[in-house]
Structure 1
Amino acid sequence: MQDLLWQIRDTDAFTFYIAAAFVAAVFWFIREIVHAPLLAIVSVPFLLLGGILAPIGFRRAMVSLTYDRDTNTAATVAVGVVAALLVIVSINWLWALLLEHQARRARIEPVAARSPARRLPSNR
């Protein structure tokens, strides 16, 4: 764990800038196209974390997508942001599925059954 923290600390500024640019693009996409501003705000730290951790994971596994160092950084950050986005979308979908299942199982009793019996005024 401490090794991971040191690797995050040693991440260069270029990786942070590329991750911030990709996260800003995804933030705009979620906010404007999906019309979910709260989801966009909540997802920013997770997307940024995915973008920063992906190059570390690729370096640790010794996987190189391209030969150029800067291009490889941009590609791995993009893979990390897209992977984080897929995780967020799948969690959102599972949450909606759970809420739909709970709403379908709910037993709603009629309003008339809960209220006390009313008597209509009689004309005597």
Structure 2
Amino acid sequence: DFSFEEGLRSATALLTAAVPPTAVFASSDLVALGAIEAARTLGLRVPEDLSVVGFDDTFLAQTSSPRLTSVNQPIAEIGTTAVDTIVRLARGEAPRANRVELATHLVLRDSTCPPKARESS
């Protein structure tokens, strides 16, 4: 479930564990924003106590507070490749490739920083 609510629920479980993480990589920007809300609710600061990274680099990532570090996907290129494949198949032609890999890149914003040292037990 790629929802804010799932991010909130999952991050709450992670952050209340005996040894909570210092960072979370979420499956979507919405899930990441739910994780940020879980941290806030538990009194944790992002990124000082918890770094959060999303996936998709949506408009929400750019406008959230803190602005969300996210993996950017080439959406236009994905769409162009998909349409080209559909048109080729509709014409009875073979697709240009059976597997297509498109480059992504990490967009660093305000929701990440190096982890602070853990206290020894």
* TM-score strictly above 0.5: no
Who wins on radius of gyration, i.e. which is larger?
A: 1
Higher helix share: 1
**Greater strand content:** 2
Tell me the TM-score normalised to structure 2 length: 0.29
